[in-house]
Structure 1
Amino acid sequence: MHEQEVDTPALLLDLDAFEANLDAMAAALAPTGAKLRAHTKTHKSPVIARLQMERGAVGQCVQKVAEAEVLAWGGIPDILVTNEVVGPRKLARLAALNSISRVGICVDDRGQVDAIAAAAQACGRRITVLVEIDVGGARCGVQPGPDAVALAQYIAASRHLIFGGIQAYQGSAQHIRAPEARAAAIDSAIGDARRTVEQLRQQGLACPIVGGAGTGTFAQEAASGVYTEIQAGSYAFMDADYARNQGAPPFRQSLFVLATVMSTAVPGVAVVDAGHKALPTDSGYPLVHGRPGLDYVGASDEHGKILLGDGAGPDCGEKLRLVPAHCDPTVDRYDWYVGVRKGRVECLWPVAARGAMA
Structure 2
Amino acid sequence: MKFPSADALPQTPLLVINRAALERNITQMQALCDAAGVRLRAHGKTHKCSTLGRLIVERGAVGLCAQTVGEAEAFVAGGITDVLVTAPPPAWAGPRLAALAKTGATIGVTADDEGQIDRLSDAAVAAGTTLGLVVDLDLGTHRTGAYPHEALTLARAADAAPGLRFAGIQAYLGHLQHMDDGDLRRSADEAAFATLKALVAELTAAGLAPPVVTGGGTGTHAFDLASGVFTELQAGSYAVMDVEYDDCGPPGGGAWPFEPALYVAASVVSTRHKSHVVVDAGFKAMSMDGPPARVISGAAPGSLWRPMGDEHGMIAHPSMIDVLKAGGRDPLGFAGAVTAADADPARAFPTDAPKVGDIVWLQPGHCDPTINLYDALHVWDGERLERWAVDGRRVTSL
TM bucket by the smaller chain?
A: over 0.9
The structure whose Rg is larger is 2
Counterparts of 1:172 and 1:195, CA distance in 2? 21
Cα distance, 1:249–1:138 mapped onto 2, change above 3 Å: farther
Q: Tell me, in whole angstroms, the C-alpha distance in 2 between the residues paired with 1:294 and 1:357.
A: 42
Q: 2:189 aligns with which of 174, 186, 195?
A: 186
Residue 171 of structure 2 is aligned to residue 168 of structure 1: yes
Equivalent residue in structure 1 for 2:277, among 265, 270, 274: 270
Is 1:299 the equivalent of 2:332?
Answer: no
Q: TM-score, normalised by structure 1?
A: 0.96
Q: CA deviation at 1:112?
A: 0.5
Offset, 1:2:
4.4
Structure 2 match to 1:36 = 40
CA distances 1:305-358 after superposition (whole Å, capped 9, x unpaired)? 12101372212211011110110011111111111123x324111111124498
Could you tell me how far apart the structure 2 residues matched to 1:331 and 1:60 are? 17
1:310-321 correspondence to structure 2 within 5 Å: 310=319, 312-321=352-361
Identity over the aligned pairs, expressed in percent?
Answer: 41
TM-score between both structures, scaled by the size of structure 2: 0.86
Cα–Cα, structure 1 residues 152 and 114, in superposed 2: closer, same or farther, change >3 Å? same
**Structure 2 equivalent of residue 82 of structure 1:** 86
Whole-Å separation in 1 of the counterparts to 2:121 and 2:215: 24
Deviates more, 1:25-34 or 1:344-353: 344-353
Residues in 2 aligned to 1:81 and 1:4: alpha-carbon distance in whole angstroms: 39
- The answer to whether the aligner puts 1:353 opposite 2:357 as a matched pair is no
> Kindly tell me: are residues 139 and 357 of structure 1, through their superposed partners in 2, closer, same or farther at Cα, counting changes over 3 Å?
farther
Asked whether 1:117 is paired with 2:124, we answer no
Contact 1:297 1:306 in 2 (8 A): yes
Cα distance in 2 between the residues matched to 1:17 and 1:191: 35
CA contact (8 A) 2:283 2:307 kept: no
- Separation (CA, whole Å) in 1 of partners of 2:32 and 2:107: 27
CA separation in 2, counterparts of 1:354 and 1:153?
A: 35
> In the alignment, is the contact (CA less than 8 A) between 2:76 and 2:100 conserved in 1?
yes
TM-superposed CA distance for 1:205, in Å, is 0.7
User: Please, which of 217, 220, 223 is the counterpart of residue 217 of structure 1?
Assistant: 220
SS at match of 2:46: helix
Corresponding residue to 1:26 among 27, 30, 36: 30
Q: Please state how far the C-alpha of 1:285 moved relative to its aligned partner.
A: 1.4
Structure 2 distance, partners of 1:28, 1:260, is 38
3-state SS in 2 of match to 1:317? coil
CA shift, 1:154, in A, is: 1.1
Sort the Cα spacing of 1:166 and 1:341 in 2 relative to 1 into closer, same or farther, 3 A: same
The AA in structure 2 aligned to 1:297 is: R
Paired residues, what number?
355
Which AA in structure 2 matches 1:95? Answer: A
Return the structure number with greater helix share.
2
Give the partner amino acid of 2:183. Answer: E
Contact 1:13 1:254 in 2 (8 A): yes
CA spacing shift, 1:108–1:64, aligned 2, 3 Å: same
In the alignment, which of 372, 388, 392 is matched to residue 332 of structure 1?
A: 372
Match for residue 134 of structure 1 among 138, 141, 153: 138
SS at match of 1:186: helix
Question: Letter of the aligned partner of 1:354 in structure 2?
Answer: R
The CA distance in 2 between the partners of 1:300 and 1:112, in whole Å, is 41
Q: CA RMSD in A?
A: 1.6
Offset at residue 195 of structure 1 (A): 1.3
